[in-house]
Structure 1
Amino acid sequence: MSALFKKFVFLVFLLPFAINLQAQEAKDLDIYLAIGQSNMAGRAEILPDLKAPLEGVYLFTGKEWIPAVNPLNLYSSVRKVVSMQRLGPVYGFARKMQSESPERKIGLVVNAKGGSVIAEWMPGTLFFNEILSRARLAAESGEIKGIIWHQGEGDVKEADQYLGKIGHLITAFRDSLNLPELPFVVGQLSEDKPVRKPLNDFLVNLPQEMPNTGVALSYGTTAFDSTHFDSPSQILIGERYADQMIKLLDAKKQTDSFSFGVLSDIQYADVETVGKRNYRGTLETLKRTIPILNAYDLEFSVHLGDLIDRDFESFDAPLSILEDSEAPFQFVWGNHDFSVLDSLKQRVGEKINNQKGYHSFEIGNMVFMVVNGMDISVGGHPEGSKNHTQALEMMETLEKGGANNVKPWNGGVGQEQLAWMESIVQNAEKDGKHVVAFCHYPLLPENGLHLLNHKEVMDRIGGSPAMVAWLSGHHHAGNYFKDDNGMHHLTFLGMVEAETPALGAIVTVKKDKLIIHGIGNEEDRILNFR
């Protein structure tokens, strides 16, 4: 047996196992339905760089999920022959959706049929029932987030009736799936033939006629046969579908409430209890808390620093437990996270998936800032480094002024990060958005455990009406303070000193308030926006 043949046999044997492994990972998906006629099915050439599977994207076969690879209409239950299935807009759509939210997995249900007219898709028809059946099966693996639709070439002669028909179809899908606000994006036809212009013009008006709809425009595209988009155009219009879908999903989040979880100061180490600090037992508290977080539909959870007490190898135990969280975790840098050898300090950020220490992200009308309070600190950087030296200078200046927080376990924010924070808050204020900051160190009250240069931070961002709350850890006993500007300063209880079997909080974001639901001894609170 030749070496080449042996390799072929090995790959044939291995492939089903690889696909099955991928299918097992296809859970908690953001699912999108892609339906319509030939341009949605795809007739463009699948170029060499478009042949690889899309990372983090899965395709529903009608029975199982497999890695998404072109042609994506291959498993349509109503398609034409296999040889006609090529590149459609779904590839560009899915690629951009996944790149915008890389922490999420995308599920695609593609069921298009070339040459179909809209009447064939109406409620009660084979096509409608087929996609509905597949959608319901697919929804067992996640949540249906939206529908993209490309059809109309067969209806250009009745363009004036198209808006009414597509509106009826959208309503039918939403009613049948019990998703009354399901985003629905339609695509314009190729502009190569003037006869399509009236229908394209009508489609532009859809968002004014139907809520939660969008239009992927076809300007700048070309067709290789006067009807079907060529490969670059399919990618382009696919990305425009994604832009519209993201816009609709973001708008929906602005009106919806959502929740996130909060934990702080797990501070694990494989050492004996000292005082109230149960360094080993904190893992049991964490194990009991994660199922409580998982009982909620959380957008994310955040740990407010001090995942460990000491030693780099300590990270593995709590991180292993946190893998059971259904919501992704944001990790804030804490002082004890850097109680490791100087040679390992630069690896801490990578270990907890927060390489730089600070960043921001948005959900609907909310902006979340993850602040690096270890930026300027003696503990967070090797002795003799620039940031270590700056920390010594800052602490010397503060000590001369009688500050009570000049301690080696406290840290501050550097000028580069401070300018970034100010920019984030200013932009949020301009856009009418609200900001919540996550930092290991409190800003207020001045109890000796607060950020070294807290006054400078308050001067730069504290007066903005966009600033809602500064959420922190570090002070294990917890605290709450509302400053004169109306900004909330909430310090959460430290898990390492938990007095209850589970400890943490669920924060629900409403349009005008944060509702804190405490777990264990954490208090319930309502933090109204300014």
Structure 2
Amino acid sequence: MNPKSDPFCSFGIIADVQYADVDERYNFHKTRLRNYRKSLVLLERAVSNWTSEGVDSVLQLGDLIDGLNTKHNASESALAAVVDVLNIFPGPVYHTWGNHELYNFKQELLRTSELFSGNLPQCACPEGETYYSFNIHRKLKVAVLNCYEISMLGLTNDSSEYKIAEGILSENNPNQSWNNPDGLHGTNRRFVKLNGMVSDSQLKWLKEVLQQAVNRLENVIVMGHVPVCEHSTGNMFLCLNHSEIMEVLTTYSSCVMCYFAGHFHEGGSCVDSSGILHVTFPGTVESSEPDAYATAYLYRDRFVIHGKGSYPSFQTKLRYSIEDS
């Protein structure tokens, strides 16, 4: 799937870097090794390659630093380390937040940090909110979700969003630890603390963005840290209200081309019944390859994702072709 002609634009994609200056160790289930220091090297290689290739921008799908940083009082230094690497890239980097950012920082603080791209002048962000949209090309819009708008992560215990999430987990997960899905089956395994959900107002905003895209004949990529299609991820790693988001996406499948996520480190993909490509990108922190990133290319009638190392490649048709002029 190597590009054979000049694309209209290109951008990098990376997920779950989860950098921490700590020794490698296995994940919670003792099934996958995480190399926290190597992940920074992989990020550096990705940025270097994107810069030399001249890609226009980067999509960062969340979990840029690991929650282990909190135990070592290293949240600020870890964030500074990854931001320093990303700042080498000459173009804009568009972020979404994952659960590991929220183990380190409150959402209110992240809104004023370099990890909130809704502050960039080219982004359209509702006032006071944490989701936004922007155009990579006049025919390609990206809508960025906050999949933890309602959650028990990065919010104060007395906030309404925290209390709603607490009630949902209390009702659906009987385990002593709400990070434990034991005894839950199928998609009910998503009722764990490491997931969150979007609000009704965020869903309304998404519908408005997608309707505008239909009116303007724009192709759309929706991205969020947490997957929403059960066939592209493990059941434990779904957004709490994934079915409501899926309903919106499929309703507007005339413009929605892809949904990008991270969170599930094994990665996964599927094309849903409406033709939308769902890609859950693998966790860079668990890559055993010398590279772990992807670069996407927009052509006249197709969209190509070229994976490097542990990242897979994909291709899909555009909803609206781009004139050659």
Report the TM-score when normalising by structure 1: 0.49
Aligned to 1:323, which of 80, 87, 94? Answer: 87
Shift of the alpha carbon at 1:444? Answer: 1.3
Match of 1:496 in 2: 285
- Conserved in 2, the CA contact under 8 Å of 1:332 and 1:357? no
Which residue of the partner structure matches residue 431 of structure 1? 216
> How big is the shift at 1:350?
2.1
Which of residues 123, 131, 134 is equivalent to 1:358? 131
Structure 1 distance, partners of 2:318, 2:24, is 40
1:469 aligns with 2:231: no
Supply the AA of the counterpart residue of 2:241.
N
SS at match of 1:376: coil
Q: 2:17 aligns with which of 266, 279, 293?
A: 266
Rounded Cα–Cα distance in structure 2 between residues aligned with 1:487 and 1:267: 28
| 1:419 counterpart = 2:170 | no
Pairing of 1:503-518 with structure 2 (within 5 A): 503-518=292-307
SS at match of 2:112: helix
Counterparts of residues 73-472 of structure 1 (less than 5 Å): 257-275=8-26, 276-310=33-67, 311=70, 312-313=75-76, 314-340=78-104, 344-351=106-113, 352-354=115-117, 356-362=129-135, 363-396=137-170, 403-445=188-230, 447-464=235-252, 465-472=254-261
Contact kept in structure 2, 1:445 and 1:481, CA below 8 Å:
no
Are the structure 2 counterparts of residues 398 and 297 from structure 1 closer, same or farther at C-alpha, using a change threshold of 3 Å? farther
What is the Cα-based RMSD across aligned positions, in Å? Answer: 2.1
Q: Identity over the aligned pairs, expressed in percent? A: 28
3-state SS, counterpart of residue 393 of structure 1? helix
Is contact 2:62-2:262 (8 Å) kept?
Answer: yes
Report the Cα offset of residue 298 of structure 1. 1.8
1:278–1:497 CA contact under 8 A, matched in 2: yes
**Distance in 2 between the 1:522 and 1:256 partners?**
20
Kept in 2: contact 1:304–1:438 (CA 8 A): yes
Tell me how far apart the structure 2 counterparts of residues 397 and 514 of structure 1 sit (CA, whole Å): 42
Checking the alignment, whether the CA contact within 8 Å between 1:333 and 1:357 is kept in structure 2 is no
Aligned residue identity for 2:38: G
Matched pairs, number: 274
Shift of 1:505: 0.4
Q: Do the aligned partners of 1:269 and 1:279 also contact (CA within 8 Å) in 2?
A: yes
CA apart distance, 1:290: 1.3
Query: Is 1:304–1:473's contact at 8 Å kept on the other side of the alignment?
Result: yes
Pair member with larger Rg = 1
| Amino acid in the other structure paired with 2:273 | D
For the 8 Å contact 1:440–1:474, the answer to whether it is kept is yes
CA distance, structure 2, for counterparts of residue 372 and residue 260 of structure 1: 21
- Alignment correspondent of 2:124: none
Residue 396 (structure 1) shift: 4.5
Q: Deviations over 1:257-306 (max 9, x none)?
A: 21111011111122221121111221111122211111223221011000
Unaligned runs of 5+ in 1: 1-254
- Give CA-to-partner distance per residue, 1:65-96, whole Å, 9 cap, x none: xxxxxxxxxxxxxxxxxxxxxxxxxxxxxxxx
The gaps in structure 2 that reach 5 residues or longer are 1-5, 27-32, 119-128, 175-183, 320-325
Counterpart contact for 1:361–1:367, Cα < 8 Å: yes
Question: Match for 1:306: what amino acid?
Answer: D
SS in 2 for 1:298: coil
Structure 1 residues 162-210: Cα deviation after superposition (integer angstroms, max 9, x where no partner): xxxxxxxxxxxxxxxxxxxxxxxxxxxxxxxxxxxxxxxxxxxxxxxxx
Runs of at least 4 residues off by over 4 Å? 396-402
**1:455 CA displacement:** 0.3
CA deviation map 1:221-263 (0-9, x unaligned): xxxxxxxxxxxxxxxxxxxxxxxxxxxxxxxxxx962111101
Task: Tell me if structure 2 keeps the 8 A contact 1:345–1:382.
Answer: no
Helix, strand or coil at the partner of 2:230: coil
Name 1:486's counterpart in structure 2.
275
Specify which structure has the higher proportion of helix.
Answer: 1
TM-score, normalised by the number of residues in structure 2? 0.79
Asked if 2 retains the 8 angstrom alpha-carbon contact of 1:395 and 1:452, the reply is: no
Q: Which structure has the higher relative contact order (CA within 8 Å, separation 6+)?
A: 2
CA distance in 1, matches of 2:142, 2:309: 25
Aligned residues of 1:442 and 1:449 also touching (Cα < 8 A): yes
The Cα of 1:528 is off from its aligned counterpart by 2.3
What amino acid is aligned across from residue 210 of structure 2 in structure 1? V
Equivalent residue of 1:421, what SS? helix
Instruction: Determine the C-alpha separation between the residues in 1 that align with 2:130 and 2:23.
Output: 30
